[in-house]
């Protein structure tokens, strides 16, 4: 076997067909990272003339003139082949040491366990301990089977298999999810594909969502660079609210409520007005008031937005066998329109038509408690009736003794932060 610095084309040809392929292990991401200031390397192992392992490696931040290295979503390698893994690890250690690096971090795109939509372990599923154990044997320190969002990348994801025709897949969505999807379209929502001109809208919506949910958000400058280098992998879905459909739909709902109230009153004239009819009357009056208020909102919306408005966005990435939902968001004042249902519906439909095997809804946590901080994210995704996927997690590898000092200082820093909270 031979260790080699690969050309971009060599890495691209290998990465695109590897079972662990991720958009984070692409030359497109490499180009983005280079513009953002990281040094990028493409490294591989040859067995004869054939590439059998590879990775995109980022030279990142400097600590006292020493550097950390990161292979996002890990190596493109068979982690069960310990001989190959050991050779690649040893060669990468030498490479990083020559570059004055003291630590390597990886978070492989390798499944540890498959779970049901409810988060329960699947029957006959066994943990992928061999991959974890092999890394540990070679000196990698496991971050642990973390439950939340403490690591660099999410460890828990939500997958939807596309092994049936789209309409069959949709029938398996929960009743409430199907109902919400249809309600989106009735309210006047439609979904279109965004272009470079839509980046400011995407940034505005993502920022609004991040502030509301206390998430990290990117700048418009970042998204422009991302689009420049990764536009062939990314799709922007924009949820647009049509003022005319919104108004006419609300008028229809109000007319139905008025008709229902009239029928109740007619019924009251011909029968004894008991508790049941009184309750129906009260409910009908509440419905009328509700839709009258909504009608005023619809009229105001049309006046202020005669051409409609973009109220939600979803950013997806093509990633090997899966179509990945990288991020989504909704403007605060339009949350009641639940545009995410229409966005995800369109995203899933496109994935099926393009021939992908899975839709990866990306991050959730391993906490399925209804009182959990992030339960709402999981609950939304669970409505599509897929599977919870648990990855093997994050690992770090000591390159020089500075690694020990760095970890001690990092531990002290975290303790100080915890005390301040």
State pLDDT tens for residues 332-365.
999 999 999 999 999 999 999 999 999 999 999 9
For residues 147 and 149, what is the distance between their CA atoms, to the nearest angstrom? Answer: 7
User: If pLDDT is split at 50, 70 and 90, which confidence band does 251 have?
Assistant: very high
Per-residue model confidence as pLDDT tens digits over 360-376: 999 999 999 999 989 99
pLDDT at 271: 65
- The per-residue pLDDT of the chain, averaged, comes to 94
CA-nearest of 334, 331, 341 to 297 is 334
What's the average model confidence in pLDDT over 238-246?
97
143: number of Cβ within 10 Å = 16
What's the average model confidence in pLDDT over 172-201?
97
pLDDT at 110: 97
CATH topology of domain 2-110+128-142+393-420: Aminopeptidase (3.40.630)
Answer whether 311's CB lies under 8 Å from 334's CB.
Answer: yes
Answer whether 92's CB lies under 8 Å from 364's CB.
Answer: no
User: If pLDDT is split at 50, 70 and 90, which confidence band does 419 have?
Assistant: low
CATH topology of domain 158-241+309-390: Aminopeptidase (3.40.630)
pLDDT above 70 covers what percent of the chain?
97
> CB-side exposure of 309: number of CA atoms within 13 Å?
19
Per-residue model confidence as pLDDT tens digits over 55-104: 999 998 777 888 999 999 999 999 999 999 999 999 999 999 999 999 99
> CB-side exposure of 226: number of CA atoms within 13 Å?
21
What's the average model confidence in pLDDT over 254-274?
81
What is the Cα Rg of the chain in Å? Answer: 26
pLDDT above 90 covers what percent of the chain?
84
What's the average model confidence in pLDDT over 96-115?
96
Per-residue model confidence as pLDDT tens digits over 280-321: 888 989 999 999 999 999 999 999 999 999 999 999 999 888
pLDDT at 267: 75
* pLDDT surpassing 80 at residue 211: yes
pLDDT at 418: 61
- 374-383: b or e for each residue (b if 16 or more CB lie within 10 Å)? ebebbebbbb
pTM, full prediction: 0.92
Alpha carbon separation from 313 to 217, 326, 327, 340, 354 (Å, rounded): 14, 11, 8, 8, 20
* pLDDT surpassing 80 at residue 421: no
* pLDDT surpassing 60 at residue 199: yes
């Amino acid at each position: 076997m031979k260790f080699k610095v690969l050309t971009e084309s060599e890495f691209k040809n290998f990465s695109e067909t590897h079972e662990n392929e991720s958009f984070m292990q692409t030359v497109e991401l490499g180009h983005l990272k280079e513009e953002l200031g990281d040094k990028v390397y493409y490294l591989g192992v040859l067995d004869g003339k054939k590439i059998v392992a590879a990775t995109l490696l980022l030279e990142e931040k400097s600590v006292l003139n020493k550097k950390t290295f990161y292979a996002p979503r890990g190596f493109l390698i068979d982690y069960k082949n310990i001989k190959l893994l050991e050779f690649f690890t040893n060669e990468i250690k030498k490479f990083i040491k020559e570059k004055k690096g003291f630590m390597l971090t990886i978070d492989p795109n390798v499944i540890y366990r498959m779970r049901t939509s409810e988060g329960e372990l699947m029957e006959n599923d066994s943990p992928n301990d061999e991959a974890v154990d092999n890394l540990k044997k070679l000196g990698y320190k496991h971050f642990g089977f973390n439950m939340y969002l403490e690591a660099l990348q999410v460890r828990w994801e939500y997958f939807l298999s596309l092994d049936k025709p789209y309409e069959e897949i949709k029938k398996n969505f929960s009743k409430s999810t199907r109902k919400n999807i249809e309600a989106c379209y009735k309210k006047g929502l439609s979904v279109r594909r965004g272009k470079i001109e839509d980046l400011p809208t995407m940034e505005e919506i993502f920022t609004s969502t991040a502030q509301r949910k206390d998430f990290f958000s990117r700048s418009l400058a970042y998204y422009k660079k991302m689009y420049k280098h990764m536009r062939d992998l990314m799709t922007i879905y924009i949820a647009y609210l049509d003022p005319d459909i919104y108004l006419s739909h609300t008028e229809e709902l109000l007319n139905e409520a008025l008709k229902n109230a009239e029928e109740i009153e007619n019924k009251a004239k011909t029968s004894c007005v008991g508790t049941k009819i009184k309750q129906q009357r009260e409910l009908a009056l509440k419905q009328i008031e509700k839709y009258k208020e909504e009608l005023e909102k619809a009229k105001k919306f049309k006046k202020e937005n005669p051409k409609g408005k973009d109220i939600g966005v979803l950013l997806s990435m093509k990633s090997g066998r899966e179509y990945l939902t990288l991020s989504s968001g909704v403007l605060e004042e339009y949350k009641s329109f639940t545009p995410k249902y229409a966005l995800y519906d369109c995203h899933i439909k496109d994935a099926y038509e393009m021939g992908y095997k899975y839709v990866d809804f990306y991050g959730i946590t391993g906490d399925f408690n209804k009182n959990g901080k992030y339960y709402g994210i999981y609950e939304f995704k669970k409505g599509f009736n897929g599977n919870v996927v648990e990855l093997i997690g994050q690992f770090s590898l000591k390159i020089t003794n500075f690694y020990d000092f760095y970890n001690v200082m990092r531990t002290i820093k975290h303790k100080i932060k915890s005390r301040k909270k």
